[in-house]
Amino acid sequence: MRIWYILAAAVVYLIAAWFVAKEFYKAAVARGWPQKRNFWLCFLLPLAGYLLVIALPDRGGPALGSFVSTDLPEL
């Protein structure tokens, strides 16, 4: 009976890890790093992968244009 609880917990953990890794991958893509290795690092090595994505420098990804406004007055 306990084995089912362990298996259920493992499945829930894997599903949660998948979605968290997917969000960190989206953050990496937004910073201009579209490599799939960022997803797999976050999924297989969570702490190291999260820290790696957090530390990535911004290379001007696709989301950069949404933060830059061209209608600001010049000072």
**Quick one: DSSP state of residue 70?**
S
> What is the domain count for the chain?
1
pTM (global) more than 0.85: no
**52 falls within a domain:** yes
Instruction: Quote the domain boundaries for residue 44.
Output: 2-59
For residue 65, being part of any structural domain is answered with no
Whether residue 25 lies inside any domain: the answer is: yes
- 68 inside domain: no
Per-residue pLDDT tens digits for 27-75: 999 888 889 999 999 999 999 999 999 998 888 766 555 555 567 667 7
For residue 4, name the pLDDT band (cuts at 50, 70, 90): very high
- Mean pLDDT, range 11-40, rounded to an integer: 94
- Does residue 28 lie within any of the structural domains? yes
How far is it, in rounded angstroms, from Cα 28 to Cα 24? 6
Which stretches of the chain are DSSP H helices?
2-30, 37-44, 46-55
- The alpha-carbon radius of gyration of the chain (Å, integer) is 18
pLDDT at 75: 72
Cβ-contact 21, 49 below 8 angstroms: yes
